[in-house]
Amino acid sequence: MRAKLTRRHAAGAILAAMLATSIGTPAFAADMKVGANVGNVPWEFQDEKGDIVGFEVDLAKEIGKRLNMNVTFVNIPFNGLFAAVQSGQVDAAVSSITITKKRLESVSFAQPYYDSDQSLAVRSNSGIKNLDGMANKVAAVDTGSTGDMWSTQNQQKYKFSDIRRYEGLAPAMLDLAAGRIDGYISDIPAVQYYIKDKPAYQVVERILTGEQYSMMFAKNSPLAEKVNAEISKMKQDGLLAKIHEKWFGAKAEPNSTTVKIMDMPKL
């Protein structure tokens, strides 16, 4: 009889301990792996300490905080981000990714949070004044980017002798400085941020493409809707505008997608 009571008391003690633990300890946060082409200034890049920082890093971390999710970043070349979200290697992707109808066929996006265009950057002493000056010269782009698509579509129009493809801004700009390429066609905010203290480069033409950036997910991922809702809240409470001002040193335009709440893009 004594042994039975002891076992009963032990079982009760274990149950009580389990209940106390479940009540006293908050639920574990889920993980959100975010793919990013690190080196994409000022969106996601490494600072002097080696930490990954940037506009979209702040954005993703804040979304994770609001969703009680631990955000980690996985460095993936831009062109690999699409397969990474589709295969489940990552839960989401950032890297100034433009929303396009073609991409919406195979992935999902949250609402846009930044408006952009492409640009042509050259060496300041090159003598190239605009796109017409790129005739018979070598253009550089980021592999699989909208700059890549635009340049391919317009190669004959502007008579580029070749289009060379790079995995990120930094290696392309180094080759531009060395004279291995003549012009670099890429997202204007990233290029302007990179060259602001580098007088050897200049942007000579803004290429109007009307692009909008957002976070990318696997097609119809439930996480996309959750993230979209948090972006709306960040626009409402002004935090997204503060992140913009932090990284670009200027207030976001009132009619921009950084401020206006938008619908999730659909085909």
CA-CA distance, 66 to 117, in Å (whole number)?
30
* Residue 249: per-residue pLDDT: 86
The torsion angle over the Cα atoms of residues 6, 7, 10 and 14, rounded to 10 degrees, is -170
Q: Residue 191: which domain range? A: 116-211
Same domain, yes or no, for 190 and 218?
Answer: no
Q: Establish if 49 belongs to a structural domain.
A: yes
pLDDT of residue 134: 98
Look at residues 164, 191, 211 and tell me which one is the last residue of a structural domain: 211
Q: Measure the CA–CA gap between 92 and 34, rounded to whole angstroms.
A: 5
CA distance 171 to 108: 29
Task: Give the dihedral sign, CA 57/63/65/69.
Answer: negative
Return the axis-axis angle of helices 239-248 and 222-236, rounded to nearest 10°.
Answer: 80
Kindly state whether residue 24 falls inside one of the protein's structural domains.
no
Q: Is the domain of 102 the same as that of 137?
A: no
Q: Is residue 189 one of the residues assigned to a domain?
A: yes
**Helix or strand holding residue 222 (H, E):** helix 222-236
Cα angle 43, 45, 49 (rounded to 5 degrees) comes to: 140
The per-residue pLDDT for 1 is 41
What pLDDT tens digit does each residue of the chain (267 aa) get? 444 444 444 444 444 444 443 343 344 568 999 999 999 999 999 999 999 999 999 999 999 999 999 999 999 999 999 999 999 999 999 999 999 999 999 999 999 999 999 999 999 999 999 999 999 999 999 999 999 999 999 999 999 999 999 998 999 999 999 999 999 999 999 999 999 899 999 999 999 999 999 999 999 999 999 999 999 999 999 999 999 999 998 899 999 999 999 999 999
Task: Report pLDDT for 118.
Answer: 97
Give the tokens for residue 104: 């919406």
Q: Amino acid identity, residue 33?
A: K
Instruction: Find the CATH number of the domain harbouring 228.
Output: 3.40.190.10
**DSSP-assigned letters across all residues of 111-164:** ---EEEEEEEEEETTS---SGGGGTTSEEEEETTSHHHHHHHHTHHHHT-SEEE
Does 131 lie in the same domain as 65? no
What total number of domains does the chain contain?
Answer: 2
- Cα distances (angstroms) measured from residue 82 to each of 48, 60, 86, 183, 240: 29, 18, 6, 26, 25
